[in-house]
Amino acid sequence: MSSELTQPPLNDSEFRCLQKFMADASGIVLAPNKRPLVAGRLMTRLRHYRLDSYADYLHLLDQQMNLKERRLVVDLLTTQETYFFREHPHFDYLGEWLAGRKGPLKLWSAACSSGEEPYSLAMVAQEHMCSGDWSVLASDLSLRMLQKARDASYDMAQAKYFPQGWLHRHCLSGEMNGRFRVQAALRERVSLREINLVQPLPDDLGLFDVIFLRNVLIYFNNDEKRRTVQRLVNQLRPGGLLFIGHAESIHGFDLPVRLLNPAVYERL
């Protein structure tokens, strides 16, 4: 084994193995143009173990006791781009839908990443619900992202996406060195949970009134998209809302939903 830091090539066979690994573990399809990104991100693990090749690393991943390392690979190769109130028309629509409702109401951010989406949902519920009888489930397959969501601390640059006055009402920002943190009153309404959407969902989830499944399906093949959306639609109450990303489609999936607004569906 070598201590050199030069990056070895990631050959076709090794990349295909990693593509299969990610598809099996997370449903994510690694496109061919992602090969340089994959090689770069996994190079940190080769250095960690002082390995000479990606083949050596794949052999290490195959060993039965390396569940933690396999989970880390999924973390490293999962794109986690998000921000508060992303695709803001969805939050405007949700606010109008929630207005005057008394609850109880359950919302689910099914791929919550570092927490910006579920905390955005919580702020919308707090602003528009007639009562405080609501809760948000935030789930992700990445423990690293869930920990960031649990910390609920973000760079102040993210504040520019907030509706006027919401940062002051829902977050703490004084003496935080250019950062802000979601207030405890909202954090307590958001429960965090590790859930892999391409696996059977936990039996104890219950039904939801609102599910956000946005900017996830673009990484799945068509069969995995259909199975994943069907699982989540099964968790929606009749009349509940499913939000997907504006660049995504569930056309032709034969689901018990109807389109209400761009990328917003109602459970029938």
Angle at 229 between CA 201 and CA 209, to 5 degrees: 75
Our answer to whether residue 41 is catalytic in this structure is yes
Q: Determine how many CB atoms are found less than 10 A away from the CB of residue 252.
A: 8
| Catalytic status, residue 140 | yes
Measured in whole angstroms, the distance separating CA 118 from the mean position of its chain's CA atoms is 10
Out of 24, 35, 86, 140, pick the active-site residue.
140
Cα distances from 246 to residues 20, 44, 99, 107, 148, in angstroms, run: 27, 34, 23, 19, 25
Q: How far apart are CA 213 and CA 265, in angstroms?
A: 11
* C-alpha to C-alpha distances, 141 to 100, 197, 213, nearest whole angstrom: 34, 8, 13
Q: Which helix (H) or strand (E) holds 151?
A: helix 143-151
**Where are the alpha helices (H) located in the chain, listed in sequence order?**
12-26, 35-49, 54-62, 67-77, 88-98, 116-128, 143-151, 166-170, 184-187, 222-233
Q: The sheet that has 208-213: what strands, in order across it?
A: 190-194, 134-140, 105-109, 208-213, 236-244, 264-267, 257-261
**Could you tell me which residues are beta bridge partners of residue 105?**
134
The answer to whether the CB of 23 falls within 8 A of the CB of 29 is yes
Of 24, 35, 41, 150, which is the active-site residue?
A: 41
Q: For the chain, how long is the longest CA-to-CA vector?
A: 65
Dihedral of the alpha carbons of 45, 4, 39, 48, in degrees to the nearest 10: 0
Catalogue the active-site residues: 41, 140
